[in-house]
Structure 1
Amino acid sequence: MTAASRIDTTRPHTARIWNYWLDGKDNYPVDQAAGDRIRALHPGIGDYARADRAFLGRSVRHLAGEVGIRQFLDVGTGLPSADNTHEVAQRVAPDARVVYVDNDPVVLTHAQALLTGTPEGRTAYADADLRDVDGVLAHAARTLDLSQPVALMLLGVVIFIEDEAESYSLVRRLMDALPSGSHLVLSHTITSPAMPDVDEAVAFWNENGTPKLTQRTPDRIAHYFDGLDLLAPGLVSCNHWRPEGDSRLPPEVAMFGGVGRKP
C-alpha cells in the first residue's frame, strides 16, 4: 500500500490542519472546517502554530551558529513549510547534515520536498515511528555520525504519546544514544488554568480528529529535560524563547519550548 493510498481525506488530520494554520496548501476542506472550528474555540491557535515554527528557526540558528552543531535529527517532521530545519541549518552552515523522521502517510507523500539541500551538506528522510527508537537511530546513522553531537528536534511530537512514562522513556533513550554536547529541542502544547480555551479546543480535536493529542503542564514538560543543562531562558512560551527584534514580549502562547544540552 502506498503512502498516498493510506491518506483519509474524510477526517481532519493534525498535520494538514497545522499546514492550514500556517497558510499552506497541503490540506483539504475537512481540515479547513476543523481548523476554523478550533480557531473559533481558541482564536490564538494560529499564533502558536507560527510561534512554534519561529522557535524552530531561532533554535536551529543558535545551535548551528553559536554552538557549532552540524547534525540535526528532526523526528515528527510534519508537512514541509517555509524554513524547514535543513534550510535554516544549511543557511548558517552549508555542511550541516539533517535527517527527517516521520511515519505519517500525509507527510510521506511530501517527503521529496525535504530531500533537497546544499551540495556541501546532506539531507535525508526516514519512514519511522518515534516509538521505534532503535529504528530511528539506525536510519539516522546512515547519514549522521552519532559519535559527534546531534541536535534532536522533537517539535510538537511527544504530544501524540499519551502514556507519560512511555513518552519520557522515548526521549531519554534517544538522548542516551547521543554523545555529550548533543542538544534536545522540544516543544509541547500546555494545559493551564490561565488558558481554558486551549483545553476546549483540544477536547474538540480529540473527539473529531486524528491522531489524538495529550496536553501536559509546563512542570511535566520540564521533565523531558531531566539530566540536561537547560539553556536560558529555560522552558518558556515558544514566542518568548530568545525573541529577535522588538524586546517587548508578546502574550504567551499555549506551545512551550526549550533547548537542553547533554553534559
Structure 2
Amino acid sequence: MKSLLDYICKKYNLLVQENLKLGYNSDSVCIAVNKNGDKVVVKAAKTKNAIAEIRMNSTGYDNLRKCGLDFFIPEIFAYESSDDYAFIVMEYLGSNFLYQAEHSENPLEFYMSLMDSLEKVYRVSLKMGAEGHEAVESFIGKTIEIYEKYVCPNLDKERQIFPLLQRMYLSINIPSVVFCCFSNWDFTLEDVYLTNAGVKYSDPHADVLGIPIIDMACFGGLIKLYGLPCSDEGYEEFKKFATGAVAEILRIPTGQAEKIFYLGKLFQCFMSIRFRYEKNPEQTKTIFAEAKEVIEKII
C-alpha cells in the first residue's frame, strides 16, 4: 500500500498529512496537501473489495453529475483503476456531519440546515421513472433479507414476525410510486458534509435514484442511536421533512409516505441488531421490541 501511496504522491505532488479512520471496504484513506498547501483526500486500494468500492464511488459520481448534482459531490482531481489497484484524489470537505452535529451550538438548527440543502438536491434530480417503485420493492426485500440473516437466528427463532414482514409488499401501494430522485439508503452521517456551499456527499453507490423518504428514516434513526444533541427532536424533524416536503416533491400521499418512512426505520433497526448483537445482546432485545412496533405502523 505504501508503494501505491508513494506513486500517487509523486505523480500529483502530494504530501500525506494524516491517515483517516478506514471504512468497511477501505485499504487506505488519508488527507494530503498539494504543492499549493491545499488539502485533498486520497482514497487508495489494492484489495478486491476496496478496489470495487472506489470504482463504485466513481460510477456514482458520474451518475450524480448526469442528474445535475455536480454541486452535491466533491471535486475529483484524479482517478485511476486497473486490475491491481484503484485510487481517487478528491476535494477535502472538512469535518463530516457527525462531528459537526456533536459540536454544534444549535444542533436542531443544524439539522434543519441539512434538510434545506437536501430539498434542493431532491428537486434538481426529480424525474418520472420506474426507479421509484423498484426502489421501494427492492428495499422491502433487503429488509427481509437482513431479518433472515441476522435477526431471525438470534431474536426470532420461531419466525413470528415473518408473515408480518411479507405483508409489507401489499400494505404499501408500490405501483403508485411513479417519481424518483436522489436516494441512497446508505446515506450515513460520516459521509455527509454541510459546507458553506451546501450539502456534499462523498460515498455514493452506482445506483443514485430512488425514494429518499427511506434515507431520512435511516438518517434520523442514526441520530438517535448515536445519542447526538437534540436527537429526539431532530428525529421528529427528519420524519416531518420526509413525510411532508419530500413526499410532496415525489407526489406521494402522506399515508403512503409514513409507511415508507417506517420501512426505512425498520431496516435501520434490523441493521442495528446486525452490528450490535454480539457486543450488546440486551440492547438488541430493546431494538427488536421497537422493530415490532414499527412493523405495525407499516401494515
Output the TM-score relative to the length of structure 1: 0.31
Output the TM-score relative to the length of structure 2: 0.28
Bigger share in helix: 2
Larger relative contact order, structure 1 or 2 (CA cutoff 8 Å, min sep 6): 1
Larger radius of gyration: 2
